[in-house]
Amino acid sequence: MSIIALLAIGFSLGAVLLLMLAKQCQQPLSDGIADSLAGFMLLLGLAIIQGVHLGVVTQLFDGFHTRGYALVLYSIAPSFYFYSRQILQANINYRPLDYCHAIPLLLGLLLPYRLAVPGAFVVGCGYLLWLALNVYQLRAQRQRFHLELLALAVLFVIAIAVLLLVFIKPLLTEQTFVVGYSVLISFAMFTAMLTLLRFPTIVNDISEAVQASYIESTLKNVDKAALLAKLNQLMIIDQLYRLETLNLAMLAEQLAITPHQLSELINTECQQGFSKYIRQHRINEAMRLLILEPNASVLAIGLSVGFNTQSNFYAAFKELVGMTPGQYRKNQRQTG
């Protein structure tokens, strides 16, 4: 059992490091300072918890029965709230009431240790309900996120398993509890990393869906059929998606509408966000070229359809087709 815990803890610590590096390399300036700090604190908190568990499993040190461990537990849920808030409530600015999310840290300081640890998980349950409510509000967009929502459902199951583990904690030895908690944290991080690898743009896509669901309709007095026809012409005939710098504002200008109107049009009529809509057109053309131009390199095809790097092309292709461009070309040759 100790070996399983050590493997789980080792994976978690490595995953934290990789996620921190990936965030810095991919989007170092895209998030606000508060959101970036919350993400950093969330990952750091998980790393500290697993570090404490490492001490218990190896019996090298005891950080488990300390006030510091309780404080870190109480920091996880608020950090997660602030990190995910801008994704799930993109249109809502920070309010004075948000300072109330510091209250859990006070509980970690004031409650006796025997109450502080289970109390932290009760607080986490409250934030879990908040997350469930916000995801439920996206139910109209669920057909766009089948597999993504499945991954989220797995995380919910893990969270419930953690709560059950805390509930039966009096029946378990301390070592068994730590091992179980370590494995569940590791499994949650594995699910999160697998989701990010399979859907590298999931955060952006969900954010777009959230914004679209909050926006009051801007297409009430617009001929949507004519706009869709013009949009199809720009994308299929003129192939504007080949422009590496194409963005929402540029395409909206071509249609003589506002970016909000274009965003709503694509979300409601195409059932996907702008980013995924453009990726879909680029990948469709790439699939065609991979077959029609067998001597062209995969990288050249990816750049020709609008992707700026090979990694972005491969990630989008794998997301939408389920395999790499090279595998797709090989399969088509074999079946052809």
Q: What is the CA radius of gyration of the chain?
A: 23
Instruction: Give the model's confidence band at 34: pLDDT under 50 very low, under 70 low, under 90 confident, else very high.
Output: low
Q: Which residue has the higher pLDDT, 169 or 27?
A: 169
pLDDT (0 to 100) of residue 30: 44
Instruction: Give the model's confidence band at 300: pLDDT under 50 very low, under 70 low, under 90 confident, else very high.
Output: very high
Q: Which residue has the higher pLDDT, 202 or 9?
A: 9
pLDDT (0 to 100) of residue 29: 41
When pLDDT is averaged across residues 174-194 and rounded to a whole number, the result is 89
Lowest mean pLDDT: which of 31-35, 134-138, 163-167, 245-249? 31-35
pLDDT (0 to 100) of residue 119: 86
pLDDT (0 to 100) of residue 214: 53
Q: Sign of torsion, CA 2 4 9 11?
A: positive
pLDDT (0 to 100) of residue 52: 93
Most confident of 4-8, 89-93, 97-101, 122-126: 4-8
Q: Which residue has the higher pLDDT, 99 or 182?
A: 182
Instruction: Compute φ and ψ for 167, nearest 5 degrees.
Output: -65, -40
CA-to-CA separations, 128 to 49, 109, 134, 175, in angstroms, rounded:
19, 22, 10, 26
Instruction: Give the model's confidence band at 182: pLDDT under 50 very low, under 70 low, under 90 confident, else very high.
Output: very high
> What's the chain's average pLDDT?
82
pLDDT of 180 > 70? The answer is yes
pLDDT (0 to 100) of residue 163: 81
* Cα 1 from Cα 178, distance rounded (Å): 11
- pLDDT, tens digit, 9 for 90 and up, residues 210-232: 666 555 566 777 788 899 999 99
DSSP state letters, 288-333: HHHHH-TTS-HHHHHHHTT-SSHHHHHHHHHHHHSS-HHHHHHHHH
pLDDT (0 to 100) of residue 90: 56
Query: Which pTM value belongs to this model?
Result: 0.64
Which residue in this structure is represented by tokens 């461990």? 69
* Cα 236 from Cα 87, distance rounded (Å): 31
Q: Which residue has the higher pLDDT, 161 or 141?
A: 161
pLDDT (0 to 100) of residue 27: 47
pLDDT (0 to 100) of residue 216: 52
Q: Which domains does the chain have, with CATH numbers?
A: 2-209 (1.20.1070), 218-335 (1.10.10.60)
When pLDDT is averaged across residues 303-314 and rounded to a whole number, the result is 91
DSSP state letters, 106-120: HHHHHS-HHHHHHHH
- pLDDT, tens digit, 9 for 90 and up, residues 253-271: 999 988 888 888 888 888 7
